[in-house]
A and B are shown apart, each in its own frame.
Chain A
Amino acid sequence: MQNEQGQGADCPKETVIRARDLDLVFQTNDGPVHALKDITLDIDRGDFVSFIGPSGCGKTTFLRVIAALEEPTGGEITVNDLTPDEARRLRAYGYVFQAAGLYPWRTIAGNVKLPLEIIGFTREEQEERVKKVLELVDLEGFERKYPWQLSGGMQQRASIARALAFDAEILLMDEPFGALDEIVRDHLNEQLLKLWARTNKTICFVTHSIPEAVYLSTHIVVMSPRPGRIHEVIQNPLPRERPLEIRDTPEFLEVAHRVREGLKAGHGYDG
């Protein structure tokens, strides 16, 4: 991953998401709102990139632009060298929303199967994939349960399984653990890291939590609001192998401190 300051370009890498001077202005009743301004960013294959910043900094909007759920008003962006919309049509990414958003009328297996049915996998392959991804998120044995029978954390794991089911290379996660309590969140963070190590996906992860961003990512994009822009991209020096205890080490606290300073300098705290 690189940005304008040229950080973190040790070896040639395959760029998956490339944004150049990206602008997005929403026309609202109160006049135009500059949601994104001059976003320039490269995300390489296998990166785990966290987007952090106060509300209104455009982190979710940027994720939605990557997913072709919002149309930028200026600049360029490519996903796998295609436009975001072309990438969406090829199902290049899985999206995990803040709310698990499982269908209450479908079992856990049925929910994971939803994208597979839409894409048109054969019945056997659907079963096979459901089994595989539910194992991946530690939900084997819950196939026939309905969402309301599961805890919030388990529901969110099921929604991650749903996003993984069709083997998209990119995982876009919009504050997926924001509504969960800290103990569950720790556990899911640990599991997400393992999952990332096993699948080698490219993950874009929006969060409000500094420890979460530092614990998970290879790169932390610090954003600032009004207009939403990138203040700083911090490359995380922590090793890929990260037990939960790493959060008490001086190295971890040092990175967390840099993120906090970045947020402060980007006027992140005045909103």
Chain B
Amino acid sequence: MTGDWMREKVLPVLTVVAAIFALWYAAAIWMNSSWTLAQAERAGKTLTFTEIVKDTMSQSRPKLPVPHQIAAEIWKSTVKMKLTSKRSLIFHGWITLRATLAGFALGTAIGILMAIAIVYSRTMELSLMPWAVISQTIPIVALAPMIVVVLPKIGIEGRLIPKAIISAYLCYFPVLVGMVKGLRAPHREQLDLMKTYNASGLQSFLKLRLPSSVPYLFTSLKIGIAAALVGAIVGELPTGAVRGLGARILIGDQFGNPMQIWAALTCAAILAGVLIMIVGLLQRITLKRMGMAE
């Protein structure tokens, strides 16, 4: 059993990871070596191949840091750093996570409510759906600064709410689309059955449409939580924020500190992965309790 699991699940993943790492190291050697060679030339030295390789992996401002450098940077700015420090990635991660979760909750609520409105009202479908689609064609980077500028004018202070709104803006759409599909999943016979019981609209909704939509909802939530994280990070980029993973990326870029960019980037990726896994776990538990999965 465990052998099969290793062969079927772990091995393919490890193979891909190994391939990516190999490519990454090769690319780092190739991209960083020009600087190594230029330095050597200026000093009038000739380097062996081993010396070049070694140098490409230990520069403080490489064009492309290698994975173990990034790992070291993350280690330094998480485990070895006090949580309250302005350079702690855990601190910045928490700032971003907070906005992500707030945006996710807001976006999910908006998505579900809009889906209900659309499924139950033809007028709503005709009037809301095109705007929902158009909303996703506007680049969020263009919209984010406006949201950040406008909100304080209407009395909303702080950075959390603007970021959460930007995050919700990205996150509601997959939830909306998934929920519309889910609420419409019951086929004609199932709806007719409710009619033969003379069920009220609310009863049909609670006992048929809502449970039918749960698998669709979770699939959407997985996309939604990733979108919410992207939204929170984007919300930190153009707004002069100094806290959050997005701010770390931006500041790293402005001060020419690639290690910091890559460390923040990696943390964001890990955070996204963990969030998706948590939603996936909730999905499995929920569907199992509903009897819809083994």
Q: Which residues of A line the B interface, CB within 8 A?
A: 67-69, 88-89, 91, 93-95, 97-99, 101, 103-107, 114-115, 117-119, 146
Partner of B189, one of A101, A117, A146: A101
CB–CB A118/B199 < 8 A: yes
Contacts of A101 in B (CB 8 A): 189-190, 193
CA distance A93 to B193 in the complex (A): 11
The range of chain B's interface size is 10 to 19
Closest residue of chain B to A119 (Cβ to Cβ) is: B197
Known contacts A88-B198, A89-B198, A114-B207: does B291 contact A106 (CB below 8 Å)?
Answer: yes
Of the listed residues B196, B198, B208, B290, the one surrounded by the most CB atoms of chain A closer than 10 A to its CB is B196
Contact present for B197 and A91 (CB under 8 Å): yes
Q: Is the CB of A118 within 8 A of B197?
A: yes
The answer to whether B292 touches A105, judged by C-beta atoms less than 8 angstroms apart, is yes
Q: Which listed residue (B189, B193, B207, B291) contacts A104, Cβ 8 A? A: B291
B53: min CB distance to chain A, Å: 57
CB-nearest residue of chain B relative to A64? B192
Residue of A93, A97, A98, A107 near B291 (CB, 8 A) is: A107
- With both chains docked as a complex, state the minimum distance between the C-beta of B247 and any C-beta of chain A, in angstroms: 44
List the B side residues contacting A103 at CB < 8 Å: 190, 208, 211
Q: Does B195 contact A (CB under 8 A)?
A: yes
**Would you call B207 and A117 a contact (CB within 8 A)?**
yes
Instruction: Let me know if B189 and A97 touch, CB within 8 A.
Output: yes
B203 at the interface (CB under 8 A from A): yes
Contacts of A95 in B (CB 8 A): 192-193, 196
List chain A residues, Cβ under 8 A from B214.
Answer: 105
Interface of chain B: mostly helix, strand, loop or mixed = helix
Q: Is the pair A99, B189 in contact by a Cβ cutoff of 8 Å?
A: yes
Q: List 16 A-B contacts (CB under 8 A).
A: A68-B195, A88-B195, A94-B196, A97-B193, A101-B190, A101-B193, A103-B190, A103-B208, A106-B291, A107-B291, A114-B197, A114-B207, A117-B207, A118-B194, A118-B203, A118-B207
Q: A99 to B199, alpha carbons, bound, how many Å? A: 20
Contact residue among B195, B198, B199, B291 (Cβ-Cβ distance under 8 Å from A105): B291
Whose C-beta in chain A lies nearest to the C-beta of B193?
A101
Q: What separation, in Å, do the CA atoms of A117 and B190 have in the docked complex?
A: 16
Over the window 111-149 of chain B, the binary record of Cβ atoms lying under 8 Å from chain A Cβ atoms (1 yes, 0 no) is 000000000000000000000000000000000000000
Cβ–Cβ contact A93 & B196, under 8 A: yes
Residues of B within 8 A of A91 (CB): 196-198
Q: From residue A96, how far is it (CB to closest CB) to chain B in Å?
A: 10
What B residues does A88 contact at CB under 8 A?
Answer: 195-196, 198
A106 to B211, CA, bound (A): 10
Residues 186-235 of B contacting A (Cβ, < 8 Å): 189-190, 192-199, 203, 207-208, 211, 214
Inter-subunit contact B197/A69 (CB<8 Å) = no
- How far does the Cβ of A58 sit from chain B's closest Cβ, in whole Å? 17
**Which residues of A are found within 8 Å of B198, using beta-carbon distances?**
88-89, 91, 118
Least CB distance from A228 to B in Å reads: 19
Query: Does B292 contact A104, Cβ atoms closer than 8 Å?
Result: yes
Which residues of chain B are near A99, meaning CB under 8 Å?
189
Smallest Cβ distance from B203 to chain A, in angstroms?
A: 5
Distance in angstroms from B205 CB to nearest chain A CB is 12
Contact of A67 among B196, B207, B208, B291 (CB under 8 A): B196
Asked if A97 contacts B192 (CB within 8 A), the reply is yes
Residues of B within 8 A of A114 (CB): 197, 207
Q: Which residues of chain A are near B291, meaning CB under 8 Å? A: 104-107, 146
C-alpha spacing A97/B195, complex, angstroms? 13
For residue B192, give the distance in angstroms from its CB to the closest CB of chain A.
Answer: 5
Complex CA–CA separation, A94 to B214 (angstroms) = 28
How long is the Cα–Cα vector from A114 to B190 in the complex, in angstroms? 12
Q: How far is the CA of A175 from the CA of B293 in the complex (A)?
A: 29
B11 to chain A, nearest CB (A): 31
In this complex, what residue of B is CB-closest to A117?
A: B207
Instruction: Please indicate the chain A residues that have their CB under 8 angstroms from the CB of B290 in the complex.
Output: 105
Interchain CA distance A105-B215 in the complex, whole Å: 11
Determine how close the nearest CB of chain B comes to the CB of A35; give it in whole angstroms: 16
